Amino acid sequence: MSDARAPASVEVEGLTFHYPGAEDPALREVAFRVRPGERLGLLGPNGAGKSTMMRIACGYLPVPRRRGTKVRVAGLDVATQSLAVREQVGYLPEQVPLYQELRVREHLEFRAAVKRVRRRARRAEVERVAGLAGLEDMLETPIGRLSRGYRQRVGIADALLGSPPLVVLDEPTVGLDPNQVQGIRTMLKNLGGAQTLIFSSHILAEVEALCDRIIILSRGAVVADETVSAALASDTLSIEWGRPSSGGGGEGDAIRGAAVQACLEQAWSRFDAAGPLEVELSVVGDRVQATVVSGPVALDELAAAIGAESLAAGLPLVRLEPGRRRLEERFAVVTGFREAPERAKGGRS
């Protein structure tokens, strides 16, 4: 096997998959592409089809023979070249099959042989992946005596053996302690570029920190396919005003809130036919805080207008920034658990 292979692309088109005897398909008309070196996070509620998608892409479940269905890894057709595909892929399945009676080193050396790592390179390669997965001190321990977290690390080390062009990890940080989660995340982040990475996780913060792009599956269908920055892009402004220094500063909350509301209305009226202003407003101690939905208005133009109107009204701005959308919110919206904030009417609170 050659030492450094180029990162793999993945192309999926028109993929519908039924488990034998199942009433509903596990995957419905799934289509997406992964560029070489990209880190893709596969998200979705339980039973959405993530593991099924990974098994098919790795050549461990058959690609249905159907017109319009295409699954390619590194340019290879998974339907007809699944063995060649497996040589391109390091796969951590949901349940890691391990040889209980072998020591970690023996297990990984055996797996390296299966993966056609050259005999003379095997020992060093096993030590390299053991280092990446935090297993250096466990190499002589029998697998049957390992805790769940360490077994998971053996599975991760196995997937990295031979630096495969595509690394596919099904929930890699399940069962790991918080320190190890951190270590594995850093390691995965460093894989990007040289190897293509697809991984699934229910920990959205992990996906946010690690991925270039996300795909969200829901009931077997792709409901979002976007860059992480697009998924997190906000259409709100988060604003905070301090107490005006002039005018005594002794007004009641209602008066200060009304002054801010009037200022925001004034800023909003600069934009023709922009629909009603959507704002959530609250008075917290000395501060008035607001979240304004920009809707059809460009975020920076609205920010400039609010800045100018605040100045004119003598309301001292202490913060004016894009609101932060969390991946949890995006996930809930696209999987149908929450109405899109764009469609939700705001109003004063």
Ligand X SMILES: Nc1ncnc2c1ncn2[C@@H]1O[C@H](COP(=O)(O)OP(=O)(O)OP(=O)(O)O)[C@@H](O)[C@H]1O
Decide if residue 52 touches ligand X (CB under 6 A).
yes
Q: How far is the CB of 196 from ligand X (least distance, A)?
A: 20
Rounded to a whole number, what is the distance in angstroms from the first to the last CA of the chain?
A: 64
CA distance 210 to 204: 10
Stretch that binds ligand X, among 31-39, 44-52, 97-105, 242-250 (CB under 6 A): 44-52
| DSSP track, 5-48 | -PPPPEEEEEEEE--TT-SS-SEEEEEEEE-TT-EEEEE-STTS
Supply the DSSP symbol for 318: E
CA distance 210 to 200: 11
Q: Which of 236, 171, 179, 176 is nearest to 210 (CA)?
A: 171
Q: How far is the CB of 21 from ligand X (least distance, A)?
A: 7
Three-state DSSP state, 154: helix
Decide if residue 172 touches ligand X (CB under 6 A).
no
Q: How far is the CB of 70 from ligand X (least distance, A)?
A: 20
Which of 48, 143, 160, 260 lies at the binding interface for ligand X (CB under 6 A)?
A: 48
Decide if residue 7 touches ligand X (CB under 6 A).
no
Query: How far is the CA of 286 from the CAs of 240, 244, 246, 279, in angstroms?
Result: 10, 10, 14, 19
Between residues 43 and 306, which has the closer beta carbon with respect to ligand X?
Answer: 43
Between residues 47 and 316, which has the closer beta carbon with respect to ligand X?
Answer: 47
Between residues 23 and 272, which has the closer beta carbon with respect to ligand X?
Answer: 23
Between residues 22 and 83, which has the closer beta carbon with respect to ligand X?
Answer: 22
Decide if residue 44 touches ligand X (CB under 6 A).
yes
Which of 50, 86, 107, 330 lies at the binding interface for ligand X (CB under 6 A)?
A: 50
CA distance 201 to 297: 35
Decide if residue 26 touches ligand X (CB under 6 A).
yes
Decide if residue 284 touches ligand X (CB under 6 A).
no
Q: Which of 149, 143, 158, 156 is nearest to 176 (CA)?
A: 149
Dihedral angle computed from the Cα positions of residues 301, 303, 304 and 307, in that order, rounded to the nearest 10 degrees: 160
Decide if residue 335 touches ligand X (CB under 6 A).
no
Spatial contact of 179 and 134, defined as CB atoms under 8 Å apart = no
Which of 1, 3, 6, 19 lies at the binding interface for ligand X (CB under 6 A)?
A: 19
Decide if residue 49 touches ligand X (CB under 6 A).
yes
Which of 8, 15, 34, 51 lies at the binding interface for ligand X (CB under 6 A)?
A: 51
Q: How far is the CB of 42 from ligand X (least distance, A)?
A: 8
Q: How far is the CB of 221 from ligand X (least distance, A)?
A: 12
Residues near 35 by Cβ (< 8 Å), separated by ≥ 6? 9, 196
Positions that interact with ligand X (CB under 6 A): 19, 22, 26, 44, 46-52
